[in-house]
A and B are shown apart, each in its own frame.
Chain A
Amino acid sequence: MSASVTAGEVVLEEASRAFEVRADPARTLKELFIGRARSHASGPPPIHALRDVSLRVAPGEAIGVMGRNGAGKTSTLRVLSGIVPLDSGRAECGGRIVSLLEVGAGFGRDFTGRENIHLNAALHGLSRAEVEARLEPVVAFSELGHFIDVPVRTYSSGMFVRLGFSIAAHLDADVMLIDEVLAVGDEAFQRKCLTRVRELMEGGMTLVLVSHDAGTIEAVCERVIVLDEGRIAFDGPTVEGVAAYRRLLEESAGSAVRS
């Protein structure tokens, strides 16, 4: 990452990314040498997940990302976290990025909750001493009790979210990217998460939150972008953003009925 963004700043500049759609994404060497042209010509056209998306989020700001399925919400997060590169344009996040993209992502199933705290924190670049200092607060926040010493393959999805969010919330993130996962937890834990997120934002953390739930977004975000077919259809205050998202849903429902 270049030094052109400050910690907590999120920048997308004319960001575009397309994905090829193939039943089997992997090629073989054999195909490369003999059958490549054929396999390339057939098959559906690529999906443009992001088209010329420009976005700037200031440090400490929280932005909600809404849109129908396939609008490019998850792609936006994957691009911002640096997991997937852009075809063109620029994507940068300043400082330490912590992403919560999927329930239980980055967990070893045969390892205990506690061991997974170590692995998950290490994946975000923390040292052993840094992990050990955070261990107790993470365990306490997760409310997992004695389950913290049980292999996570026995966890329910709600327990995965508890652990995943508890870790993410204690990594000193400059930018946190959350994809829908909070919806899996029960209401009490969701409230606890949102309170924690607000605390972290007071400390200067930037939040990019993907959700279909207007309530969650309204609780923490003052700004919303609505994505539609890989483009930004709306960018502005939350109340109007949620309304724009609802209009989009009604339009698509209407056109579905008409056709």
Chain B
Amino acid sequence: MNKHLFALLTSFLAIACSEKPHNIQEIGTTPEIYPDYIGVEIPAGIAPLNFSMASNSFSLVDVIVSSADGTSINSQGLATDFDIDDWHALTQKAKGDSLKVEVRAKIKKQWLSFVPFYIHVSNDSLDAYGLTYRRIEPGYRVFNMMGLYERNLSNFDETDIFVSSELVGSCVNCHTANRGSNEQFMFHVRGDNGGTVVRSNGKTEVVNTKCDKIIGSLVYPSWHPDGRFVACSSNSTRQTFNMIKDKRIEVLDLESDVVVYDTENHNIITSDLINKTDTIFETFPSFSADGKKIYYCSEDYASQSIEVTDMHYILCSIDFDAETQTFGNRIDTIVDLRDQHLSIALPRTSPDGRFIMFTACDYGTFPIWHKEADLWLLRLSDNKLCRIDNVNSDDTESFHNWSNNSRWFVFSSRRDDGLFTRLYIAHCDENGVCSKPFMLPQRNPKEYYSRLFNSYNTPDFATGKVVTDQKSISSKLSSSNKIQVK
């Protein structure tokens, strides 16, 4: 309510204070804007791509965005603030085509006009209501305020899914939904009042997943498409802290296994091939699109020293039969980048079954603090593998997820300032050709991101508004009556 009132007031003020550009000097280049939306590809109906001039020296920016049929919208201010409905209408008209963006900006009483740039509007819909993610301050041990949030992608509204502020010293881990479902998801809460929150079939359960069969809690979940099973890894981890600039923290596994959790019977399904008695670390499971395979990363620690810099994970797969609830009896190596001294993490299969996207970094299993970490794409039809160069940056690219129609993916990157991860969305066509990504839009991105001292974690698309009752979940977490996994 207050936000809307404030927006209304500022809109009136903006109209009252607008200025018609005059004595314009032509500049022969495209403008430097923040965020860099020049040449990006967007879905129709996305929230307005507002921006400012990158330099703070500009006092005004005046922008006209037009579609090929001549329809245009205009915004002027320190940052653009396009009307959401007008923007949506314009992007719908420009579907499959481009929006032309003409920028004029004022610096020291002089108006400059830049070479127009284009924003391509994809024919592919986003197929999502919004994004879910965790926002976290860059602490490693002390947790006061940490939360899972959902962002409506057609506007700028952010709502809480679960915020840990009322639970003593709790750390809220990844929210993972089944194909972006707002009704079927799980997340884990660490701390004294810890537990794994599983919502499925209209029920929210808090489960104690620690049991003799597994090493620790269930993390890095991936839902089976049928919604009954969740592949997870169970890890014993250690944090170490780096001493030099550009490196901060390494998290390494001392043990890890991949298991499957049955949400109906509350039991763990394991395999002798990948259980905790073996000499191989297994982590980051991801069900294949048809649910018949689990892709995961593995590292044979028996053959190497335990130095983290020597740990190079490869991408493997193992069959899983949901009917018999059994694993296959063979492990296949899918991608091995050890000859390039790269370690694979976070594989994610696209829901259409065409691709696996993963992160590769120099070593280890915690790419988020590796500046060299990049996204890679494997096309399963012909095993064509490539680093996604027009998506990657000089800084970290890490966690990622696909939209339900497999044409968009969201990922986290530190490219904005080198410290705080921000979210980016990019298009991927059916051949695996990816577009230049765009930063998650905000009403005033420059102001918003400069004031946000949180990092975004574990982003995923959501098909609707996530259903949670925080009070009920907190109460279940605080209770000693949690469902014990067998």
A binds B: no
Chain A residues in the interface with B (C-beta under 8 A):
none
B residues contacting A by CB (< 8 A) are none
